[in-house]
Amino acid sequence: MRQKLEDEITRFNIFQRSVLGSTDKVKNREDMDIRNYAKYILKEGTTIEKRELLANLRSRIVYKDKTLTLLVN
């Protein structure tokens, strides 16, 4: 799953640089991009994409007091 996310992010970054002309570099951008892309999938993705993402999480998800938390195993 991580490889799929990284490939999709790389494809998006290439698109962003070519169309929008954005060339900014941020340290640890890949980690930020994966996190933001996962958030985007959970908000805007299809049901299948959401299920695939959640099924591949290594952490346990806890919903308490209207907040989601990941517990590291």
Per-residue pLDDT of the chain (73 residues; tens, 9 = 90+): 778 777 877 777 777 777 767 666 544 565 557 777 788 888 888 999 889 888 888 788 888 998 888 887 6
The pTM score is 0.55
SS3 17: helix
CA distances, 5 to each of 8, 31, 63, 64, 66 (Å): 5, 11, 24, 28, 27
**Count of CB atoms within 10 A of residue 16's CB?**
13
